[in-house]
Structure 1
Amino acid sequence: MKIKFILALFIITWLTLVVRVFFLAVESNTYYKRLSHSNTIKIEQITPVRGEIVDRNNRPIAINKLGFKIQLRPHLRLEKSIDKFTEEIDNIVKLLPNLKKEKLVKNYIKKDSYYYHNYIDVVHFISYEDIMPVYSVLSLRENVNIVPAPKRYYPYGEIGAHAIGYVSRANIKDIKDDKLLELIGYTGKSGIEKYYNTYLQGEAGQREIKVNANNQEIEELSNVSADEDRKLTLNLDIEFQKYVSSLFDKKAGAVIVMNVDGAILSASSFPEYSLNTFVSGISHKVWDKLSNSLDKPFTNKLVNGLYPPGSSIKPGLGLLYITTDIDEFWTVDCRSSMPLGKRVFRCWKDNGHRKTGIVKAIRESCDDFFYKGSLQVGIKKMSEGLMRYGLGKKTGVDLPNEFIGVVPSRKWKRKKYNRPWFIGETVNTSIGQGDFLVTPMQIAQFTALIATSKLPTPHLAKLIGNKPYKPLAKDVLNKDELKKLPLIQKAMYEVCNYPKGTATQYVNSKVTIAGKTGTAQVVGIMQDIETRELEHEMAYYSRSHAWFTSYGPYKDPQYVVMVMVEHGGHGGSAAGEIVSKIYNKLLELKYIKK
């Protein structure tokens, strides 16, 4: 019995061993084959080269500068016997004395760990000229890897900074949102660079290579090229943009020059700043200077600057007035002030405009006409109409984080403040004051609507690769508005050409234009002040913002020119010369055909 037990135990043991051997040799073959493959086959991602941005004439706006990055093998600090890490860092700094040792060490430590097995970037970019004299010496060191690394460069520096935008090193949040950025390292942070970032950065390629036990490459098995160099062509004329910037010397504000179909020829927010400063990292000193400036150079005023529109919206309100509760023959007797409850609403002209109809009201910017008209029409029709005209909503321009502004209404006030609406707020809204806020881009779009009867989508891009980008304009005017629009256009013509037009004495353009000036108050005027302080006598940051929005030629609208000067005072005097010179340049460059 004992012998049978031992024999049975022996057979069971051997059967177990045979089954295990069979499992390891046959059943686990696929698993170990795959494991073996991963130990000998290495997948390398190929970093795509960011696409270039050019203007409408193929001039480079954002390009890639040729350079390299220097990498070190991981885990060098873990080799206790010899301090390979310090040796390699010291050698790099010795050969390239302009580099800071502390920064190289910091870059390495940030990535180095037991679980990280790729070479680590210690120098993110070094120019071709700087690396060439020491390239052969560095590349012979087994722990050093030198690989191509293009760097974004903006040939025009600060020109068009807010529209173009810039790229900078990707942060943790950026990488979390887009894993490709872990490989690329840089991403669009503002402007066109951010809006079209996914397109411009391309797609990574991939190499499959065979390596030995020392991780040395033996053979390339496959190579899929990166999808890169995706070109973006803009409607901007960068040399024209440079000219526009020269006209805005030492002023703060915004300028937009746009074809009436929405194609933007020039778009500037002032003050500007050099884009190249941000690519490698801005110093604390420069950052503090820019961020503390009261003129807010970091704000893209084209789409993120919110301002009271002042009288610039009177053409739109005038069109609403004469197509709703009053007709085009309705007049007021402007006596320079209008009592309402305990308040008095003043017209800007001390002696009043006397008998005033719609054309005169726009031409001479009579506040009293719009005060009294608003009481006839009411805030509901005013706000709904203005929003239909494109205010209080995004224009759809291809720039990131566009603001919508505010067209005040009962509903808006109740939702924001949970308070009732007062009749005085309707009156304030009628002259673009109170809580009314717009962006310069909205005013440019709004002006194109008055010029052509169609609401275009402003756009900077002209070609995405070889594919044209031209969004369709919208029809937002009803039949009555289309019928009476010529009357508003005539009034805007007289603003710039009639003897008493608010812009006439300041316009000196070879192109016949139509437009509207606006003076948007920054500080309120107390009720007990009988004589207003003149704009030039006020402290600079208490002065009104100056608007001058226009289109031309009057009889054949081709371009909108919108200028807003922060704390400029009167729209005509602050912006008339700038607007005139822009139209003359458009004519000289044959953008406008008479």
Structure 2
Amino acid sequence: MKIKIIITLFALVWIGLIVRVFHLSVQSNDYYETLSENNSIKTEFSAPVRGEILDRSLEPIAINELGFKIALAPHLTKGKDTERLDHEIAYLKSMIPSLDAEKIAKTYKMQDSYYNHSFIDVVDFVPHETIIPLYSLMNLRETIQISPSPKRLYPYGSVASHLIGYVSKANQKEIDTDPSLKLLGHVGKNGIEKYYNSYLQGVAGERHIKVNAHNVEIEELDRTPTQENHNLVLNIDMRLQNYIGQLFDKKVGTIIVMDVHGAVYAAGNYPEYDLNSFVSGISSTEWNALMNSVDAPFTNKLISGLYPPGSTIKTGLGLIYITSGVMDEYSTIFSTGSMRLGNRTFRDWKKTGHGVTNVSKAITESCDDYFYQGALQVGIDRMSTGLIRMGLGKKTGIDLPNEFIGTVPSRAWKRAKFHKPWYQGETLNTSIGQGDFLITPFQMARFTALMATGYLPIPHVAKMIGDNPYTPVPLDVLTPTEKEKLPIIQRAMKAVCNDPGGTARSFVSTRFPIAGKTGTAQTTGIAQGVKERQKEHDMDYFKRSHAWFTTYGPADDPQFVVTVMVEHGGHGGEATGSIVSAIYNKLDELGYIKKQ
């Protein structure tokens, strides 16, 4: 019996071995053949050259500086033995003294491993003029590999920095999202560089080669070329962009110059910062200076800055009033300079009041009383719904990343956010663009274009994407009645800049009539961070109102919108009138204003 058991066990073992051999030699043949092929066929990727960014006259805004990167062969260290690595680094230092030996060693050791058979990049960029005299000699060394590596360069430095954005080294999170960045190394981090990153960076090329067991190339099997040099042409005119920066010297705020169809010819967010500082890695000193500045230069206020609009919204609100069914263009109020509601007095900017006032006079002279009393008749629901439809408190759709929404206060908004009821006093604050009302400068520029043409454009910085024009279609958002009554608002906006009673009349000096609306938006408080960083004697500055002046011109043939907002600038027209006038005159000088 024991012998039978032993024989049975022996037979089972042999059967198991035979089955396993059959599986390995026959059934697993395809698997191991594929594995062997993968071990012998290697894929090499070639990085595309990033597309350039050009202004509307094809003036380079973001280009690629020609240079090279240096890589060292793997396995130059064995355990703690770094003699070979030290020798190669010493050689590199002898050829290019400016190299950082410590940084090279650290970079190499982080990537070197037994499993890595590829050269290791240790120097990202060496200028063309530096490497060319040394190229032949250095390239003779088997342990050194030199290959082209363009570096992003911004010829204008800080000009239009918030529009253009910058490229910088890709982090691990970005690489995980887009594995091609491991090859490319850099990615758009802000502005146009980020928004159009996938187009600008192109597509990597592939090369499939057969190698032997020593990783030596035997033959090339196939090659796919890179798709590169995807250039992007913007609507920006750098002559105009430079000019508006000079006008805004030492002020804090924004300027937008846009045609009435949404093409952005210039836009500045001040103060600006040098884009070239970010390409190779900004120093901690520079970074801290940007992040700790009370003027927030790193924030793109054009699309991410939220400000109370003040009286600038009275144009659209006036249109809502006179088409509401409870008021029309002939409806009047008597302005005494203040209005009592409950136990609170709501004051007009003009202490003596404006007397008998209709919508045209209310916009021309910026009569707060008219909008207070009108708000109580029309109601917050109709006001907020109409203003949102006109583009306030919502994204504009501009081709820039990280655009903010803003807030047009309403009953529903307050209930959802604070779980509290709405009060009539809040309706009055909203009617003059104060309280919780917050918008971005580009929302205001777009809103002004709507007042000029009756259509709500989509702002766009890009003009041509490759060979394709980028012309988003404006939105038709006004009701038939609003379109019919819009000329009333347009005449009042023209009067703001040209009639004796207009709030901007004394501050406008353009070569042709323009139309617009001033606004003085009170600040509600000083942020704690500003209080901690700003000197006590400068605190009064931060208590001053923001100054708005949003315009279109020529008044009788709208072609351009110019919107200026000066942070803590005081009175809208006084702080901004000369800047707006100079911009229109520059547009005329550059040939952009078409005369009838």
Interval containing the TM-score (normalised by the shorter chain):
over 0.9
Q: Is the 8 A contact 1:310 1:432 kept in 2?
A: yes
Counterpart residue type for residue 447 of structure 1: T
The 1:357–1:43 alpha-carbon spacing in structure 2 relative to 1, beyond 3 Å, is same
CA-to-partner distance for each residue in 1:467-523, whole Å, 9 max, x for gaps? Answer: 111111111111111111000000000000001111111100012100000000114
Counterpart residue type for residue 333 of structure 2: V
Distance in structure 1 (CA, Å) of the matches to 2:408 and 2:227: 44
Distance in structure 2 (CA, Å) of the matches to 1:281 and 1:23: 55
> How far apart are residue 198 of structure 1 and its match?
1.0
User: What's the counterpart of residue 401 of structure 1?
Assistant: 402
RMSD: 2.5
1:241 aligns with 2:241: yes
User: What's the counterpart of residue 326 of structure 1?
Assistant: 327
Counterpart residue type for residue 561 of structure 2: V
**3-state SS of the aligned residue for 1:539?**
helix
- TM-score, structure 1 as length reference: 0.93
Distance in structure 1 (CA, Å) of the matches to 2:130 and 2:382: 66
Distance in structure 1 (CA, Å) of the matches to 2:292 and 2:80: 48
User: What's the counterpart of residue 203 of structure 1?
Assistant: 203
Q: Is the 8 A contact 2:525 2:543 kept in 1?
A: no
Counterpart residue type for residue 172 of structure 1: Q
The 1:318–1:23 alpha-carbon spacing in structure 2 relative to 1, beyond 3 Å, is closer
Alignment of 1:35-184 (within 5 A): 35-78=35-78, 83-184=83-184
The 1:467–1:429 alpha-carbon spacing in structure 2 relative to 1, beyond 3 Å, is same
User: What's the counterpart of residue 530 of structure 1?
Assistant: none
User: What's the counterpart of residue 297 of structure 2?
Assistant: 297
The 1:28–1:506 alpha-carbon spacing in structure 2 relative to 1, beyond 3 Å, is same
Q: Is the 8 A contact 2:76 2:82 kept in 1?
A: no
CA-to-partner distance for each residue in 1:108-151, whole Å, 9 max, x for gaps? Answer: 23322334333221111111112223222322222221111111
Alignment of 1:324-363 (within 5 A): 324=324, 325-363=326-364
Counterpart residue type for residue 299 of structure 1: T
Distance in structure 1 (CA, Å) of the matches to 2:546 and 2:95: 55
User: What's the counterpart of residue 541 of structure 1?
Assistant: 542
Counterpart residue type for residue 156 of structure 2: Y
**3-state SS of the aligned residue for 2:303?**
coil
**3-state SS of the aligned residue for 2:304?**
coil
- Percent of aligned pairs with the same amino acid: 60
User: What's the counterpart of residue 590 of structure 1?
Assistant: 591
Q: Is the 8 A contact 1:68 1:126 kept in 2?
A: yes
> How far apart are residue 95 of structure 1 and its match?
1.8
Higher deviation after alignment, 169-178 or 10-19: 10-19
Counterpart residue type for residue 165 of structure 1: G
CA-to-partner distance for each residue in 1:228-248, whole Å, 9 max, x for gaps? Answer: 111111111112111111111
Distance in structure 1 (CA, Å) of the matches to 2:61 and 2:464: 14
> How far apart are residue 157 of structure 1 and its match?
0.9
Distance in structure 2 (CA, Å) of the matches to 1:290 and 1:21: 68
Distance in structure 1 (CA, Å) of the matches to 2:340 and 2:240: 49
User: What's the counterpart of residue 491 of structure 2?
Assistant: 490
> How far apart are residue 253 of structure 1 and its match?
0.6
Counterpart residue type for residue 542 of structure 1: K
> How far apart are residue 27 of structure 1 and its match?
5.1
The 1:450–1:13 alpha-carbon spacing in structure 2 relative to 1, beyond 3 Å, is closer
The 1:111–1:80 alpha-carbon spacing in structure 2 relative to 1, beyond 3 Å, is closer
Distance in structure 2 (CA, Å) of the matches to 1:263 and 1:116: 50
Counterpart residue type for residue 102 of structure 1: E
CA-to-partner distance for each residue in 1:377-397, whole Å, 9 max, x for gaps? Answer: 111000000000011110000
Counterpart residue type for residue 471 of structure 2: K
User: What's the counterpart of residue 581 of structure 1?
Assistant: 582
Q: Is the 8 A contact 1:259 1:558 kept in 2?
A: yes
Q: Is the 8 A contact 1:125 1:151 kept in 2?
A: yes
The 1:93–1:493 alpha-carbon spacing in structure 2 relative to 1, beyond 3 Å, is same
The 1:82–1:555 alpha-carbon spacing in structure 2 relative to 1, beyond 3 Å, is closer
> How far apart are residue 22 of structure 1 and its match?
7.0
Distance in structure 1 (CA, Å) of the matches to 2:32 and 2:419: 69
User: What's the counterpart of residue 271 of structure 1?
Assistant: 271
CA-to-partner distance for each residue in 1:205-224, whole Å, 9 max, x for gaps? Answer: 10011223332323222110
**3-state SS of the aligned residue for 1:77?**
coil
Structure 2: gaps of 5 or more residues: 527-537
User: What's the counterpart of residue 439 of structure 1?
Assistant: 440
User: What's the counterpart of residue 569 of structure 2?
Assistant: 568
Distance in structure 1 (CA, Å) of the matches to 2:361 and 2:184: 60
User: What's the counterpart of residue 388 of structure 2?
Assistant: 387
Distance in structure 2 (CA, Å) of the matches to 1:453 and 1:106: 61
**3-state SS of the aligned residue for 2:460?**
coil
The 1:335–1:38 alpha-carbon spacing in structure 2 relative to 1, beyond 3 Å, is same
CA-to-partner distance for each residue in 1:339-364, whole Å, 9 max, x for gaps? Answer: 11111111111221111111111011
Counterpart residue type for residue 408 of structure 1: P
> How far apart are residue 66 of structure 1 and its match?
0.8
Counterpart residue type for residue 173 of structure 1: K
Distance in structure 2 (CA, Å) of the matches to 1:15 and 1:517: 94
User: What's the counterpart of residue 366 of structure 1?
Assistant: 367
Distance in structure 1 (CA, Å) of the matches to 2:135 and 2:156: 31
Counterpart residue type for residue 409 of structure 2: P
Distance in structure 1 (CA, Å) of the matches to 2:24 and 2:445: 74
The 1:23–1:437 alpha-carbon spacing in structure 2 relative to 1, beyond 3 Å, is closer
The 1:345–1:137 alpha-carbon spacing in structure 2 relative to 1, beyond 3 Å, is same
Q: Is the 8 A contact 2:230 2:466 kept in 1?
A: yes
Distance in structure 1 (CA, Å) of the matches to 2:109 and 2:519: 57
The 1:10–1:354 alpha-carbon spacing in structure 2 relative to 1, beyond 3 Å, is closer
CA-to-partner distance for each residue in 1:141-190, whole Å, 9 max, x for gaps? Answer: 22221111111111111111001110100111111211111111111111
**3-state SS of the aligned residue for 1:573?**
helix
CA-to-partner distance for each residue in 1:7-62, whole Å, 9 max, x for gaps? Answer: 99999999999887776666554444333333332110111111111111111111
Q: Is the 8 A contact 1:334 1:353 kept in 2?
A: yes
Distance in structure 2 (CA, Å) of the matches to 1:200 and 1:206: 18
User: What's the counterpart of residue 464 of structure 1?
Assistant: 465
User: What's the counterpart of residue 280 of structure 2?
Assistant: 280
Q: Is the 8 A contact 1:511 1:587 kept in 2?
A: no
Distance in structure 2 (CA, Å) of the matches to 1:376 and 1:179: 59
Distance in structure 2 (CA, Å) of the matches to 1:16 and 1:370: 93
Distance in structure 2 (CA, Å) of the matches to 1:256 and 1:155: 22
Distance in structure 2 (CA, Å) of the matches to 1:335 and 1:130: 75
Distance in structure 2 (CA, Å) of the matches to 1:375 and 1:151: 60
**3-state SS of the aligned residue for 2:77?**
helix
CA-to-partner distance for each residue in 1:316-342, whole Å, 9 max, x for gaps? Answer: 000001111211111111111111111
Structure 1: gaps of 5 or more residues: 526-536
- TM-score, structure 2 as length reference: 0.93
The 1:505–1:74 alpha-carbon spacing in structure 2 relative to 1, beyond 3 Å, is same
The 1:79–1:134 alpha-carbon spacing in structure 2 relative to 1, beyond 3 Å, is farther
